[in-house]
């Protein structure tokens, strides 16, 4: 049994990770801004701590004698249009929260053995057809800069003898929440299709494999630094939408032109249209076993029951 602190636990990824950790017998301390919500979504947790990342004196002692910290919290990238104010919130929610956790770890008398921090494949920016491993250089887009800064702060725990892991997460495919839920909606109205040309590489990961990756990083002392949490079989966006259409038995020939997406989403459209061909080289070298590495198998698992005949 390990004693683990988790921030962002009530989100899509956090909820699944907490359930798996609890099932295997780990002791969970949930850091949350909304205790009632945390207790409702995660009733099996051992402890709930009110968490305002800007006030570390109220929670920093909780890090003493814990085995691990998993930090998932951050403002939703899809939450609002990217105004300058919201971009500042995206940055501040990640940098400040991570900085304060790192500082709290520095002060802990008995420090966690590992600090696992969320990141994203947006770290690499739009890279065309280039194959991206953990050793590839970061991009220069807004999200790439956010991820680079975020990871840099998280890695500072290594100065205190704490292992640091940054999970560079691909687009998460889940049956109830997230990107897939939004993508299948047009298909249900017979207007499904791709964005722009559809030739851009689409990095993806099944939610079950992502949870396994977090636990793998937690348990394996040889895993450190950036980790690409993505399927070993990246696909072009058109291949993804074609597969969705086949499984749902709906047409997939409609296209949303790039200019229309930019009108609708503003600057965020550039991130949506980015081509990121990510390979999970570090996981493969450590013999990680993907349960849903194949797109068709992943979509059939997630969309079963959604076909309308």
User: Is the same domain home to 55 and 184?
Assistant: no
For the domain that residue 44 is a member of, what is the CATH number? 3.40.50.720
Tell me which residue of 86, 119, 116 sits closest to 101, measured CA to CA: 116
User: Is the same domain home to 84 and 193?
Assistant: no
Q: Please tell me the predicted confidence (pLDDT) of residue 226.
A: 98
CA atoms within 13 A on the CB side of 50: 4
Q: Please tell me the predicted confidence (pLDDT) of residue 74.
A: 86
User: Is the same domain home to 35 and 73?
Assistant: yes
CA distance 229 to 147: 14
Q: Are 175 and 283 in contact (CB under 8 A)?
A: no
User: Is the same domain home to 225 and 240?
Assistant: no
Domain residues for 35? 3-173+203-229
Query: What radius of gyration do the chain's Cα atoms show?
Result: 19
Q: Please tell me the predicted confidence (pLDDT) of residue 303.
A: 87
Residue where one domain finishes, among candidates 187, 213, 229: 229
Q: Give, for 40, the enclosing helix (H) or strand (E).
A: helix 35-41
Count of structural domains, the chain: 2
- The answer to whether residue 309 sits within a structural domain is no
- The answer to whether residue 252 sits within a structural domain is yes
User: Is the same domain home to 47 and 159?
Assistant: yes
CA distance 134 to 41: 34
User: Is the same domain home to 69 and 112?
Assistant: yes
User: Is the same domain home to 133 and 185?
Assistant: no
Q: In degrees rounded to 5, what are phi and psi of residue 145?
A: -65, -40
Measure Cα distances from 2 to 68, 196, 287 in Å.
Answer: 8, 47, 23
Q: Please tell me the predicted confidence (pLDDT) of residue 245.
A: 81
Mean pLDDT by runs of 10 across the 309 residues of the chain is 96 95 97 96 96 94 96 81 85 93 96 97 94 96 93 97 97 79 60 66 94 98 97 89 79 55 55 86 97 93 67
User: Is the same domain home to 254 and 169?
Assistant: no
The DSSP secondary structure of 252-265, one letter per residue, reads --EEE-HHHHHHHH
Predicted model pTM:
0.90
User: Is the same domain home to 7 and 131?
Assistant: yes
User: Is the same domain home to 86 and 98?
Assistant: yes
- The answer to whether residue 98 sits within a structural domain is yes
- The answer to whether residue 185 sits within a structural domain is yes
CA distance 200 to 176: 25
User: Is the same domain home to 225 and 264?
Assistant: no
Q: What is the DSSP letter of 52?
A: -
Q: Burial of 76 by CB count in 10 Å (0-12 exposed, 13-18 middle, 19+ buried)?
A: exposed
- The answer to whether residue 45 sits within a structural domain is yes
User: Is the same domain home to 45 and 86?
Assistant: yes
């Amino acid at each position: 049994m390990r004693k683990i602190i988790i921030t962002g636990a009530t989100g899509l990824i956090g909820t699944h990770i907490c359930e798996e950790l609890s099932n295997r017998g780990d002791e969970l301390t949930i850091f949350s801004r909304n205790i009632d919500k945390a207790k409702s979504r995660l009733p099996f947790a051992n402890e709930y701590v009110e968490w305002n990342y800007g006030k570390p004196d109220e929670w920093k002692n909780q890090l003493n004698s814990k085995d691990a910290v998993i930090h998932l919290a951050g403002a939703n990238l899809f939450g609002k249009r990217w105004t300058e104010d919201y971009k500042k919130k995206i940055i501040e929610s990640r940098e400040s929260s991570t900085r304060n956790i790192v500082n709290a770890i520095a002060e802990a008398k008995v420090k966690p053995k590992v600090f696992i921090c969320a990141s994203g494949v947006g770290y690499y920016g739009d890279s065309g057809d280039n194959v991206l491993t953990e050793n590839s250089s970061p991009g220069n887009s807004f999200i790439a800069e956010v991820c680079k800064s975020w990871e840099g702060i998280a890695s500072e725990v290594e100065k205190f003898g704490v292992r640091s892991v940054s999970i560079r997460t691909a687009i998460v495919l889940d049956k109830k929440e997230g990107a897939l839920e939004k993508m299948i909606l047009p298909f249900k109205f017979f207007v499904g299709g791709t964005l722009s040309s559809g030739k851009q590489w689409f990095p993806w990961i099944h939610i079950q494999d992502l949870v396994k990756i977090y636990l793998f990083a937690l348990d394996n002392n040889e895993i450190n630094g950036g980790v690409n949490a993505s399927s070993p079989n990246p696909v072009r966006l058109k291949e993804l939408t074609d597969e969705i259409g086949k499984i749902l038995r709906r047409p997939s020939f409609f296209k949303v032109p790039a200019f229309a997406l930019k009108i609708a989403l503003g600057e965020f459209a550039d991130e949506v249209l980015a081509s990121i061909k990510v390979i999970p080289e570090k996981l493969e070298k450590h013999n990680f076993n993907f349960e849903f590495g194949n797109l068709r198998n992943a979509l059939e698992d997630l969309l079963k029951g959604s076909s309308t005949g």
